[in-house]
Amino acid sequence: MSNNTSTKAGTQGSGYVTAQDGARIFYKDWGKGQPVLFSHGWPLTADAWDAQMVFLGRQGYRVIAHDRRSHGRSDQTWDGNHMDCYADDLNTLIETLDLKELILVGHSTGGGEITHYMGRHGTKRVAKVVLVGAVPPLMLKTAANPGGLPLEVFDGIRKGTYDDRSQFFRDLTMPFYGYNRPGAKVSEGVRESFWLQGMMGGIKGQLDCIHEFSEVDYTPDLKKIDVPTLFIHGDDDQIVPIGASALMAAKIVKNSTLKVYKGADHGLTVTHQDRFNADLLDFIKS
C-alpha cells in the first residue's frame, strides 16, 4: 500500500493515505498522546468531529478523523463505496499511522464502519470503542428485525439525494438535529455546515452508501468486539431509532455500557456537545 503521508504524530496536521485501489483518503491528525480516531456519519466529513477533536486534543490526546471515500476531500470513486472497502480504507489509515491502544469513535454510518473494521481486521490495535447514534446491528425492517425501518424509507433517501441533493440535505437537517421538535433552538449555522459537508461529497458514492447504512447486518461484527464499548444514543433519534439499534446492539456486545440521552436527537454530538464530550472523556479515562 503506497502512501504519501508522515507517520509522526502532530507534525503534519492533515494529509492523504492511498487505499488498496489507489483512492486517496483525506485525514486530519492533530496533537500527541493516546490516539482517538473518529468516523463520521452520512453524508458528512471529518469536520463533523471538530469540536470533539479540539476538546480531546487539548486534554492531551492525539485526534484523527478521515473523510470516507466519496465524502469530503477524499477521492470520489465510482467503485468501492461499500463497507468492506470502507473498513479496508480505515485499516490502511490505522496501519500507515501505526496507531496502537486506539480509541475508536463512530457516529451513525461511522459506527457501522468501525464495527465492520473490527469484524474484518480484529481489535489488536483497539483499546476502547464508542458508538454514537450508530446504525448496528441492522436498520432495515425484516421478518427477523421487526423494529427496523421499511425499505421505502431508504428508497426515499435515495430518491431525495438523486433528484435534488442540495434541497434534500437542507431538509434533512431538521429531523437530524431535532430542529422539527416544539421549542427546539434552531442553528442556521449548523444546518449550513451540514449542507456544505454533504455537498462536498460525490453523489455516486453517497447513493451507494445508503445501502451500506441501511441494509448491512453488523451482528457478526458486533459479536467480535472484545474491548470495552460505550453506546450513546438519543431516545428521540428520528434518523436511527434507538429500538432497532443501540438497545439491541448493547445486548450483543460483551462488556458494553449504554447511555441513553433523554429527548436527544441523532446529531447529539452537536446539540448535546458539552455533555457528550464529558462522557467521551470519562469513558476514555476509565
Concatenating the DSSP letter of every residue in 141-183 gives -BTTBTTSB-HHHHHHHHHHHHHHHHHHHHHHHHHHTTTTSTT
Name the residue with cell 480505515.
90
Most distant CA pair in the chain, distance? 51
Tell me the one-letter amino acid at 134.
Answer: A
Whole-angstrom distance, CA of residue 196 vs CA of residue 211:
22
User: What's the sign of the alpha-carbon dihedral 88, 259, 149, 74?
Assistant: negative
Run of H or E including 63: strand 62-66
Check: CB of residue 28 under 8 Å from CB of residue 65: yes
Check: CB of residue 141 under 8 Å from CB of residue 182: no
For residue 278, the tally of other CB atoms under 10 A from its CB is 12
- Report the DSSP beta bridge partners of residue 27: 15, 66
Q: By C-alpha distance, which of 205, 271, 182, 179 is closest to 234?
A: 271
Active-site positions? Answer: 108, 237, 266
